[in-house]
Amino acid sequence: MNQFSGNLTTDSRLSAIAETVESGQRGSLEDGLYLDQHADLLFLGNLANTIRERKNGNLAFYNTNIHLNPTNVCVYRCVFCAFRSDLKAEKAYTFDDQMIRGRVLEATEAGATEIHVVGGLHHQKPFDWYLDVVRVIRDANPLIHIKAWTAVEINWFSHITKKPVQWVLEQLIDAGLGSMPGGGAEIFDSEIRGQICEHKADSQSWIDIHRCAHQLGLRTNATMLYGHLEESRHRVDHLCQLRELQDETGGFQTFIPLAFHPENTGLEHLRLPSGLADLRVMALSRVMLDNFDHIKAYWIMLGEKTAQVALSFGADDLDGTVVHELIYHDAGAETPEGLTVDQLHRLIREAGREPRERDTLYRRVVRDGHEWSIEEPVAAGGQGVEI
Ligand code: V47
Ligand code: SF4
């Protein structure tokens, strides 16, 4: 396969798929598989770029955010994870309220509009401890958007409290939860999932929890971990399952493909996906997820250079300033621990796009010195959601 023939093809099936997608119709699972296996990179990228432009014009979004991983102690042992720790291991840590307040203060001083909170599932912490993390943040900064706890964590809380997922989510919303990140989706295929994260929430639970969150009015994100044991059919199936739930609820805001970083994991023999593989997955995601407004190129995991190029391969968002990221850095990511707004602007402008600061819900952020406010309505491409 030639990697670089752009939108020219002599393959009539590829031309037919491109016509379908460009006319605003949906490509089938089989179309997705064919594209993934037969389209060269520029053909796929061109298609994805057309859709990106239709949905988001020339804008590329970013946000000012900070990460908090309150504990790395985890009952699970996902083989791809370099972040987790055993309870008594030297690297184990757990934040207390004071440390959480310190992190929020740092976020506030940096003008962050979002705090992104995920961590391990600590053997000895009750649900109240996790609820308290949200309460402490809310108390320390009533304005910051709290995007916290993946579906895997929600599933764990439901397990330890023996309460339904809806009850768990309602408690968290009462405490100040604003939305949920997209982690924990990994790969939905049960055979691959069984090999990389056997014991944690299965794909049906992940989907059911996001459905429940959407029904309660929470917006959530979705991810896919690629570049490990999965094959093309698993990735395409994953994307099709996500768009099915999105058809039903409209509650997903953005999709983030996550490249597997092997260092310090149980799959250390695998190689980091190449830049070309990253761009192919990005573009395929944009083409298949026709009902998602946004596709995120998470620069922390892609590296700044690939993330910048991804803005022409379907992505319209770079995530954010992301201070204090641990999950990828423990797995060998060589990216900086954070970028300044000026650096993000430069990356976006060099890619020929117009930077637009957004909040977690993709509303425009307007800054006046150290103060910030949110401008309604939802920015270009975001259609808002009625559930
Ligand atoms: O679920 C863990 C992945 C996820 C590794 O919603 C790894 O805005 C690669 O979900 N190599 C957590 N990936 C991070 C996440 C996320 C990131 C950025 C933005 C958002 C959002 C969500 O990280 C996990 C897992 O899929 N992960 N270890 C690793 N070694
Ligand atoms: Fe625990 Fe999450 Fe790591 Fe799995 S990915 S071991 S659930 S911290």
Angle CA 11–12–18, to nearest 5: 95
Of 19, 34, 54, which one is at a domain's C-terminal end? Answer: 54
Residue 387 lies inside a defined structural domain of this protein: no
User: Strand pairing partners for 320?
Assistant: 63
Q: What is the mean pLDDT of residues 226-246?
A: 98
User: What is the pLDDT, as a whole number, of residue 379?
Assistant: 45
Q: What share of the chain in percent tops pLDDT 70? A: 95
Residues of the domain holding 26: 2-54
Within a 10 A sphere around the Cβ of 372, how many other Cβ atoms?
Answer: 16
Asked if the structure places residue 242 within a domain, the reply is yes
Q: Is residue 348 part of a domain?
A: no
CA–CA gap between residue 333 and residue 265 (Å, rounded) = 12
At 5, the pLDDT band (50, 70, 90 cuts) reads: low
For 99-110, the three-class secondary structure string (H helix, E strand, C coil) is HHHHHHHHHHHC
Q: Is 76 in the pocket of ligand 2 (CB under 6 A)?
A: yes
Residue nearest to atom 7 of ligand 2 (CA): 76
Mean pLDDT of all residues in the chain? 93
For residue 186 and ligand 1, the question of a CB distance below 6 A is answered with yes
Query: Which amino acid, one-letter code, is at 280?
Result: R
> Per residue in 15-33, pLDDT tens?
999 999 999 999 999 999 9
- Domain contains 121: yes
Within this chain, do residues 204 and 96 fall inside the same structural domain, yes or no? yes
- Predicted TM-score (pTM) above 0.85: yes
User: Is residue 319 a contact partner of residue 300, using CB atoms and an 8 Å limit?
Assistant: yes
Ligand nearest to the CA of 327: 1
Nearest CA to ligand 2 atom 8: 120
Residue 82 within a domain: yes
155 plus 286 within the same structural domain: yes
Q: Which of 121, 213, 119 is nearest to 164 (CA)?
A: 213
What pLDDT does 320 receive? 87
Residues 150 and 298 reside in one and the same domain: yes
Contact of 112 with 144, CB cutoff 8 Å: yes
The verdict on residue 372 lying in a domain is no
CA 220/CA 116 separation, integer angstroms? 12
Q: Token pair of 382, please?
A: 């975001």
DSSP three-state, residue 238? helix
Residues 107 and 203 in one domain: yes
**81 close to ligand 1 (CB < 6 Angstrom):** yes
Mean pLDDT of the region 103-111: 93
Q: Which numbered atom of ligand 2 lies nearest the CA of 121?
A: 1
pLDDT tens, residue by residue, 72-105: 999 999 999 999 999 999 999 999 999 999 999 9
Pair 255, 112 in one domain: yes
Residue 176 in contact with ligand 2 by CB distance below 6 A: no
Number of domains forming the structure of the chain = 2
- What is the number of the ligand closest to the CA of 77? 2
